[in-house]
Chains A and B, each alone.
Chain A
Amino acid sequence: MVLEARSLAAFVESVAKAAKLFVPEADPAGGTIFAEATSATAIAPTVPNTRLSVKSVFFPQREVLLSYKESAIEAVPGVDGNLVVFGARPCDARAMTWMDEVFGGGGREDPYFVERRRAAVIVAMGCDEPCASCFCTSVGGSPYGTEGADVLASRMGAGAADLLLEPVTEKGASFLAKHAGQLKPAAADAPSARQAREKAAASRMKVLDFSGVKPKMDAGFESPAWDAITRSCLGCGACTYVCPTCHCFDITDESRGDRGVRVRTWDACQYSLFTLHASGHNPRSHKRARMRQRLMHKYSYAPETAKAVFCSGCGRCVRSCPVNLDIREMLAALEDLA
């Protein structure tokens, strides 16, 4: 289906009436962030990508899990599962499939996350202008990738304002049917034109070969190379928080008197206190061990446990690192491990 530019406002209104709609909005400090919107005027172009990824819609920075009084649970907050995310990049959508695995796979279900995901629709927006820090094609993704997306949206030509909306899942097809009033049928050649645009966008990215990384990492766990590549790390956690797949969290109780709330908040393996034991021992007391953990979790352990590299090549970590640590450089350095 085609969403013409002149129908965008009506389409957004129609969607926002039926669900909680999240779009990339301009941030006063520059850049964009996902925020709830009810009108199309809110949508801002995302080049580069949004500051925070789509994960923050389904896995918020802070979430109240339950409230308690004395030693009894008082209430468990309800979760709004009627969500639509419009304008996520394919790298973010793909990352959600791994989040689904972490929070809902293997017979473990995180009810808060799963409830939000169940009926949620993700409309991914194809990328025509990958940045220098993007590397989705090096990790099995693509600028028009559909993994994790329910609908693939793409601009119908360079700088065009009309969008081609193609259903990827049943959920996506129902979503388009629901709002068909604002959409027009697409021409028969629209998908192949989209393929051509995808090829053009992908060809702008250099494909790096990370296939040798896992065995090198596994064999070189104690290598001094880890020191060399992490010397400038500040341990700030920015990379993990902006990452669409990083999912570590902390659970704390915030009490006052005999009542309180149990909250889940984002946590980061990059913090020095992350693995501090009550005894005082810290198995990852040095930042070399912490960055090693981050890289191996994504490029070695996840391939073993979840059959996927937990990195979608979105490049946010590269852009947000205050000392310009670059995951691609770090992986390349590890490839050189003897």
Chain B
Amino acid sequence: MSAAIRDAIRAAARPLLAEGKVSLIVGYERGSNGYRCRPSFAARAGDIDRLEWDSTCSNNLAVFLPGLFQRPPQKKGQETPLPRIAFVAKACDLRSIVALVKELQAPRGNLVLIGVPCTGMVDERTVREAVGGAEVASFADDGKAVVVRTAAGAEHRFEREAVVQHACRCCQFPVPQGADVTVEGPARTPGDNGDGLVKDIEKLPPAERWARFSAEMSRCIRCYACRQACPTCYCKECFAEQNNPAWIGVGAEQTDVSIFHIVRIFHQAGRCVECDACLRACPMGIDLRTWTKKIAADVRALYGFTPDFDPTGKPPLVTFKEDDAQEFITEPGAQGHGG
């Protein structure tokens, strides 16, 4: 099945380059360890045959968009033209691209989006743990089961759903919309956005919540892989690296680490598509998902907004409604305190 999708992607991509409609196609190719896919950049006809598609295409390719459209300040009347670039986009990638278009990181007209419906990507870490940390040499997925062969020759068979990424299991938008070309392919049944995880944490008392947060974050080495992998983190100077003022220290000190993550996640309010790119990028295996989910769930609950496929409309944190939620406001005296 994924071979058919791969061929459809190549068929959609080929004429775009051949006819000069775009100068670059961003997609996926086979990685260096033989089974995992990774981002691919096709600039010439020969590169198209490297494009692949399978259940390891988990990278969110929107992360490359801001860099590809970056230019130095332009002289009026002498602007160098922006490139035209095609992206192979799962629905989550597409929603990130839409968020970036809303934030003027690229004109929609300079993008050709090849939408690909998704049945969910397989979680590398889950598979690795399930095979006891052994090295995976090959991987086959027939849509119902995933068969993994380790370097030592052992074969393991998993029910596909059991090894699909958490982000995909609860994905609300498995089918991309608003793409220029959408290839045919099966898609998951939309999930319920997984906000239940957030509710579970909210049942805990503050001390327990803090214990979990600080335990996870104690492994952080401030490498910024999470930030760099996130499509909507693209500030040229991140608050974490500002030195005037120096909001936080640069090392792996507990309060600096905590504030880095709190604020980075806060900055994703209304922009995070819950793709878990940050979690996958982390070399220390930190479970960022528990906290990134909160900001997305909150914006959904308070402002009825989840980043979707509509490039018009304002990001929720730069706008307001007269009757926005106010329960959080302290009304002195309202709780039986003396006046």
Minimum CB–CB distance for B54 against chain A, Å = 14
Does A39 count as interface, using CB distance less than 8 angstroms? no
**Closest chain A residue to B37, Cβ basis:** A324
**Chain B stretch 195-239: residues in CB contact (< 8 A) with chain A:** 219, 221-225, 227-229, 236-237
Knowing A47-B134, A252-B249, A323-B39, say if A234 contacts B228 (CB, 8 Å): yes
Q: Could you give 27 example pairs across A and B, Cβ below 8 Å? A: A47-B134, A47-B135, A52-B221, A62-B252, A129-B151, A132-B135, A132-B137, A232-B39, A232-B41, A234-B63, A234-B228, A234-B229, A234-B281, A238-B281, A241-B221, A263-B251, A265-B250, A273-B241, A318-B32, A322-B228, A322-B229, A322-B277, A322-B281, A323-B39, A324-B33, A326-B31, A328-B32
User: Which residues of chain A come closer than 8 Å to B63, judged between CB atoms?
Assistant: 234
For A239-257 the 0/1 string (1 means CB < 8 A from B) is: 0111000000010101000
Chain-A contact segment, one of B13-21, B96-104, B185-193, B282-290: B282-290
User: Which residues of chain A come closer than 8 Å to B225, judged between CB atoms?
Assistant: 234, 236-238, 320, 322
Chain-A contact segment, one of B112-120, B125-133, B260-268, B327-335: B125-133
Does B90 count as interface, using CB distance less than 8 angstroms? no
User: Which residues of chain B come closer than 8 Å to A250, judged between CB atoms?
Assistant: 250
A61 and B252 form a contact (CB under 8 A): yes
The docked-state distance in angstroms from the alpha carbon of A237 to that of B284 is 13
B219 and A29 form a contact (CB under 8 A): yes
Q: When A and B form their complex, which 6 residue pairs have the shortest distance between CB atoms, in order from nearest?
A: A29-B285, A62-B251, A236-B228, A324-B38, A265-B251, A326-B32
A29 and B286 form a contact (CB under 8 A): yes
Knowing A61-B222, A323-B38, say if A51 contacts B133 (CB, 8 Å): no
B222 and A265 form a contact (CB under 8 A): yes
User: Which residues of chain A come closer than 8 Å to B34, judged between CB atoms?
Assistant: 132
A236 and B223 form a contact (CB under 8 A): yes
A322 and B252 form a contact (CB under 8 A): no
**Closest chain B residue to A26, Cβ basis:** B133
For B122-161 the 0/1 string (1 means CB < 8 A from A) is: 0001001100011101000000000000011000000000
**Chain A stretch 27-67: residues in CB contact (< 8 A) with chain B:** 27, 29-31, 33, 45, 47-48, 51-52, 61-62
**Chain B stretch 267-303: residues in CB contact (< 8 A) with chain A:** 277, 280-281, 283-287
Q: How many residues on chain B are close to A (CB under 8 Å)?
A: 48
Does A336 count as interface, using CB distance less than 8 angstroms? no
**Chain A stretch 1-37: residues in CB contact (< 8 A) with chain B:** 27, 29-31, 33
The docked-state distance in angstroms from the alpha carbon of A266 to that of B283 is 15
Does B64 count as interface, using CB distance less than 8 angstroms? yes
**Closest chain B residue to A285, Cβ basis:** B72
Minimum CB–CB distance for B14 against chain A, Å = 20
Partner of A271, one of B221, B224, B287: B224
Does B310 count as interface, using CB distance less than 8 angstroms? no
Knowing A232-B39, A232-B41, A322-B59, say if A30 contacts B128 (CB, 8 Å): yes
**Chain B stretch 142-182: residues in CB contact (< 8 A) with chain A:** 151-152
User: Which residues of chain A come closer than 8 Å to B229, judged between CB atoms?
Assistant: 234, 236, 322
Q: A interface, how many residues as a size bin?
A: 35 or more
User: Which residues of chain A come closer than 8 Å to B39, judged between CB atoms?
Assistant: 231-232, 323
A324 and B32 form a contact (CB under 8 A): yes
User: Which residues of chain A come closer than 8 Å to B152, judged between CB atoms?
Assistant: 129
Minimum CB–CB distance for A143 against chain B, Å = 14
User: Which residues of chain A come closer than 8 Å to B250, judged between CB atoms?
Assistant: 250, 252, 265
A237 and B41 form a contact (CB under 8 A): no
For A264-308 the 0/1 string (1 means CB < 8 A from B) is: 011010011100000000000000000000000000000000000
Chain A contact residues: over half helix, strand or loop, or mixed? loop
Minimum CB–CB distance for B251 against chain A, Å = 3
Point out residues on B near A: beta carbons under 8 Å.
31-34, 36, 38-41, 59, 63-64, 125, 128-129, 133-135, 137, 151-152, 219, 221-225, 227-229, 236-237, 241, 243, 246, 249-253, 277, 280-281, 283-287
Partner of A254, one of B125, B249, B280: B249
Q: Besides the contacts A266-B221, A322-B280, A325-B38, what 8 more A-B pairs have beta carbons closer than 8 Å?
A: A47-B135, A234-B228, A238-B223, A252-B250, A265-B251, A320-B283, A324-B31, A324-B32
Minimum CB–CB distance for A261 against chain B, Å = 9
User: Which residues of chain A come closer than 8 Å to B277, judged between CB atoms?
Assistant: 322
B223 and A237 form a contact (CB under 8 A): yes
The docked-state distance in angstroms from the alpha carbon of A132 to that of B137 is 8
Does A258 count as interface, using CB distance less than 8 angstroms? no
The docked-state distance in angstroms from the alpha carbon of A313 to that of B155 is 28
Minimum CB–CB distance for B61 against chain A, Å = 9
The docked-state distance in angstroms from the alpha carbon of A326 to that of B34 is 12
Most B CB contacts (10 A, CB to CB) among A29, A252, A266 go to A29
User: Which residues of chain A come closer than 8 Å to B283, judged between CB atoms?
Assistant: 51, 238, 241-242, 320
Does A169 count as interface, using CB distance less than 8 angstroms? no
**Closest chain B residue to A31, Cβ basis:** B285
Minimum CB–CB distance for A16 against chain B, Å = 22
**Closest chain B residue to A46, Cβ basis:** B133
Does A220 count as interface, using CB distance less than 8 angstroms? no
B151 and A265 form a contact (CB under 8 A): no
The docked-state distance in angstroms from the alpha carbon of A271 to that of B152 is 37
User: Which residues of chain B come closer than 8 Å to A47, judged between CB atoms?
Assistant: 133-135
Minimum CB–CB distance for B292 against chain A, Å = 16
User: Which residues of chain A come closer than 8 Å to B219, judged between CB atoms?
Assistant: 27, 29, 33
Does A329 count as interface, using CB distance less than 8 angstroms? yes
User: Which residues of chain B come closer than 8 Å to A81, judged between CB atoms?
Assistant: none
User: Which residues of chain B come closer than 8 Å to A268, judged between CB atoms?
Assistant: 223
A30 and B64 form a contact (CB under 8 A): no
Minimum CB–CB distance for B65 against chain A, Å = 13
The docked-state distance in angstroms from the alpha carbon of A189 to that of B241 is 57
User: Which residues of chain A come closer than 8 Å to B133, judged between CB atoms?
Assistant: 30-31, 45, 47-48
Most A CB contacts (10 A, CB to CB) among B64, B137, B228, B237 go to B228
Does A131 count as interface, using CB distance less than 8 angstroms? yes
User: Which residues of chain A come closer than 8 Å to B241, judged between CB atoms?
Assistant: 271, 273
The docked-state distance in angstroms from the alpha carbon of A328 to that of B286 is 27
Does A235 count as interface, using CB distance less than 8 angstroms? yes
